[in-house]
Structure 1
Amino acid sequence: MDKERIKYARRFLKELSENTGVSGYERLIAPIIIREFQTSAEEIDTDLFGNIYAKKKGESGGHKIMLAAHMDEIGLMVKKIDPRGFIRFTTIGGVDQRTLLSQEVIIHGRKPIAGVIGSKPPHLAAENGEKAAKIDDMGIDVGLSFDEIKNIIQIGDIITVKRKAVDLLGDLIAGKSLDDRAGVVVMQICLQELQYLHHAHDVIAVTTTQEEVGLRGALTSAHALNPDLAIAIDVTHGSTPDTKGNVNIELGKGPTIALGPNIHPAVYERMTDAALDARLPYQVEPIAGMSGTDAWAIQVAQAGVPTGLLSLPLRYMHTSVETISLEDVVNAGLLLAHFIARLPEDLEGSLCY
């Protein structure tokens, strides 16, 4: 285990996790990403959609390799302020309403306001707590009256869960929005490693926006770049005691390399070869249909892009206690770097079916 890289990944991922970047509002977290990527990339750029591009030039610069990890997170939005002072809300992205009750949250109004999500207690409910509360029956209590609230909070303000990242035993870390801030850390580790490796082609690491609401940033950035090859970095479901054999991906055994119709077969082969050559652990993840990641949007951009998918095993996806292995994060970054370094100058010829 590379202790220095693990230490760096922990620090950077914690900072990303504990900050805010709900889909469509990624500008709040963008300065942190730009600051960090400036230490490893030669050029930093952004676009009107909020995507961030970190470029590292290759020795020949003959082709463009796109890396993509989304920086947005799921969240909530204020839809109504109750006359009694309670905040009604809706969701942005795939929020599981079962995880919301009793959460501490921050409403990002004219100034940040702390609140708690509450509902009728089971003592007073007809079902006596036998059924999960619906989101329409929940409200956020901020401890203020309607008149006080309306001067600070407006309809449309975003809401995030208030959560500090937690170090678990070993190299595990738990927190919110590790999906897919961990992928952003992977790209940074890759760019750092490429400083010590020879690589022919230009590498553009893109932190994409609005993945959680429709892969939108990947679609626009891939169209703008029109890369010669692309790798999406995201998370995948890691096994837990209750998955009962339905999930076979394990934390701590390396990132997964996907294969299936969303994945170019030559990219899959070259990535597994790179892992074996560099003696880096990996797992194989067959995906028979749509991957549900940025890889899906990138693959069909313009005339089509040879695309791969590298995923990090993660437990409790789309909750505030997502759990991941930092060793998997570091190994994924190193695998990407060695994959890029092994690409031949004749990239098009090597990717032919």
Structure 2
Amino acid sequence: MEDKEFLRELCLAHGPSGREHWLHEYVTEVFSEFGQVTVDNLNNLIVHKKGKGKGKIMLMAHLDEIFMVVTDIKENGFLQFKGNGIDPKTLVSKEVIIHGKEKLLGIIGIKPPHLMTEEDRQKAVTVESLLIDTGYSKEALEELVRPGDYITIKGNYKELLNNNVSVKTVDDRSGVVALYRCAKELRNISHDLDVYFVCSAQEEVGIRGAKTATNGINPDIGIAVDVTFDCGRYGLKEGDTKLGNGGVICIGPNIHPKVRKLLVKICKEYSIPYQVEVEAGSTGTDAWNIQVGGNGVATLLISIPIKYMHTSVETVNMDDIKNVGYMMAKLIENIKGEELEELICF
């Protein structure tokens, strides 16, 4: 399967935090050629590709997406809701999917500007001021939807110039595609370390799946693959990370210095483009909990730069995804079992 096709199918599907299993059948179908697929008690999907058994390396990208939940059913088919990780301004005029007894389409509207008072125009958009219109009567809706049911954004997939793609849930389905690219690169490679590809659960609600997966696998090295902000318009004001310039290797206390230096050396040796970012504290990613799993894990964070994070038009460059997968594969290929202990010591 082509990387772009896999990304499209993953991103247009729905798998909010705690319901990642909605995607498991498809992900299992795609990854099963590389190794044994299992699911742990917290919904982490784990693919074990055997090496020579001389150590373990875990590559992790979270499968869950930002979401909303129904809080109340109102008259005339309207739903009140709470959001997680979503800026209310981005919800206006969006189509959503309500995951009730059956999937229902809804829209989030707003009062037309012609009918707004000056006071209305000055008010910030809040979740409390928005409702989802389903078109059902309250009585019919109560048969299909209950408070606590999940709501996700209905996405649209667009291919842009320069091999860029815009779609919802690039955070972090692009990371899952990078894992897939790495697995393809390793298909015919004899590597010393056993490789565990993990599609983690509940990252968006507290980096939770990373804890159980790391403790269950007990890897020597753990790599979190997530997204980061670009530094263009509407991005970070400081820094120089850009779409199309390669994966972003993090530096900071969450990151193992010797393994990071080896990764940079390999990128230079194989002419793999990369960028660098510095994080002085928590990276806010699965890497934070990977590092303190078990007795401690030598941890890396490799990020894919994107635009418009946590919106329905997240934008990513396909070459960045490919190069992140490639740099991880070359790292795995070059780590020798007899050198592992020295590598992961500080």
Q: Give the TM-score category using the shorter length.
A: over 0.9
Instruction: For 2:54 and 2:320, locate their aligned partners in 1 and report how far apart those are by CA, in whole Å.
Output: 31
Q: What is the aligned counterpart of 2:18 among 13, 19, 24?
A: 24
Q: Flag structure 1 segments of 5+ consecutive residues without an equivalent.
A: 1-6
What letter corresponds to residue 321 of structure 1 in structure 2?
A: V
User: SS at 2:119's partner residue?
Assistant: coil
Q: Is the 8 A contact 2:229 2:236 kept in 1?
A: no
Deviations 1:188-224 (CA, angstroms, capped at 9, x unpaired): 1101101232311100000000000000000111011
Is 328-337 or 156-165 further displaced after alignment? 156-165
Q: What is the aligned counterpart of 1:72 among 64, 76, 97?
A: 64
Instruction: For 2:252 and 2:154, locate their aligned partners in 1 and report how far apart those are by CA, in whole Å.
Output: 37
User: What is the aligned partner in structure 2 of residue 293 from structure 1?
Assistant: 285
Q: Could you say what the CA RMSD is over the residues aligned between the two structures, in angstroms? A: 1.3
Map 1:82-231 → 2, pairs under 5 A = 82-92=74-84, 94-122=85-113, 123-231=115-223
What letter corresponds to residue 199 of structure 2 in structure 1?
A: T
Alpha-carbon distance, 1:247 to partner = 4.0
Instruction: For 1:26 and 1:158, locate their aligned partners in 2 and report how far apart those are by CA, in whole Å.
Output: 12
The percent of aligned pairs where both chains have the same amino acid is 40
Task: Check if 1:63 corresponds to 2:26.
Answer: no
User: What is the aligned partner in structure 1 of residue 326 from structure 2?
Assistant: 334
Instruction: For 1:109 and 1:279, locate their aligned partners in 2 and report how far apart those are by CA, in whole Å.
Output: 49
Q: Is the 8 A contact 2:230 2:236 kept in 1?
A: no
Alpha-carbon distance, 1:157 to partner = 1.1
Alpha-carbon distance, 1:165 to partner = 1.4
User: SS at 1:223's partner residue?
Assistant: helix
Task: Check if 1:52 corresponds to 2:45.
Answer: yes
Q: What is the aligned counterpart of 2:305 among 300, 307, 313?
A: 313
Instruction: For 1:64 and 1:36, locate their aligned partners in 2 and report how far apart those are by CA, in whole Å.
Output: 22
User: What is the aligned partner in structure 1 of residue 344 from structure 2?
Assistant: 351
Q: Is the 8 A contact 1:237 1:247 kept in 2?
A: no
> What TM-score, normalized by structure 1, do the two folds share?
0.95
Q: Is the 8 A contact 2:203 2:285 kept in 1?
A: yes
Instruction: For 2:30 and 2:117, locate their aligned partners in 1 and report how far apart those are by CA, in whole Å.
Output: 49
Question: Using a 3 Å threshold, how does the CA distance of structure 1 residues 232 and 243 change in structure 2: closer, same or farther?
Answer: closer
User: What is the aligned partner in structure 2 of residue 4 from structure 1?
Assistant: none
Instruction: For 2:55 and 2:111, locate their aligned partners in 1 and report how far apart those are by CA, in whole Å.
Output: 59
Deviations 1:59-111 (CA, angstroms, capped at 9, x unpaired): x211110111000000111010013321000113x111111111111111111
Instruction: For 1:128 and 1:149, locate their aligned partners in 2 and report how far apart those are by CA, in whole Å.
Output: 29
User: SS at 1:327's partner residue?
Assistant: helix
Instruction: For 2:235 and 2:287, locate their aligned partners in 1 and report how far apart those are by CA, in whole Å.
Output: 25
What letter corresponds to residue 19 of structure 2 in structure 1?
A: Y
Q: What is the aligned counterpart of 1:11 among 1, 5, 16?
A: 5
What letter corresponds to residue 140 of structure 1 in structure 2?
A: I
Instruction: For 2:69 and 2:235, locate their aligned partners in 1 and report how far apart those are by CA, in whole Å.
Output: 31
Alpha-carbon distance, 1:10 to partner = 0.7
User: What is the aligned partner in structure 1 of residue 225 from structure 2?
Assistant: 233
User: SS at 1:129's partner residue?
Assistant: helix
Instruction: For 1:85 and 1:315, locate their aligned partners in 2 and report how far apart those are by CA, in whole Å.
Output: 34
Instruction: For 2:249 and 2:198, locate their aligned partners in 1 and report how far apart those are by CA, in whole Å.
Output: 19
Instruction: For 1:131 and 1:252, locate their aligned partners in 2 and report how far apart those are by CA, in whole Å.
Output: 38
User: SS at 2:53's partner residue?
Assistant: coil
Deviations 1:319-349 (CA, angstroms, capped at 9, x unpaired): 0000000000001101100011111212012
Instruction: For 1:100 and 1:175, locate their aligned partners in 2 and report how far apart those are by CA, in whole Å.
Output: 15
Alpha-carbon distance, 1:287 to partner = 1.0
Q: Is the 8 A contact 1:208 1:221 kept in 2?
A: yes
User: SS at 1:297's partner residue?
Assistant: helix
Q: Is the 8 A contact 2:259 2:300 kept in 1?
A: yes
Alpha-carbon distance, 1:303 to partner = 1.1
How many pairs does the alignment contain? 344
Deviations 1:3-26 (CA, angstroms, capped at 9, x unpaired): xxxx81110000000000000111
Instruction: For 1:271 and 1:10, locate their aligned partners in 2 and report how far apart those are by CA, in whole Å.
Output: 25
Alpha-carbon distance, 1:239 to partner = 2.2
Q: What is the aligned counterpart of 1:36 among 20, 30, 34?
A: 30
Q: Is the 8 A contact 1:166 1:174 kept in 2?
A: yes
Deviations 1:31-69 (CA, angstroms, capped at 9, x unpaired): 111111012x221111111101111111x2111101110
Q: Is the 8 A contact 2:235 2:307 kept in 1?
A: no
Q: Is the 8 A contact 1:103 1:117 kept in 2?
A: yes
User: SS at 1:98's partner residue?
Assistant: helix
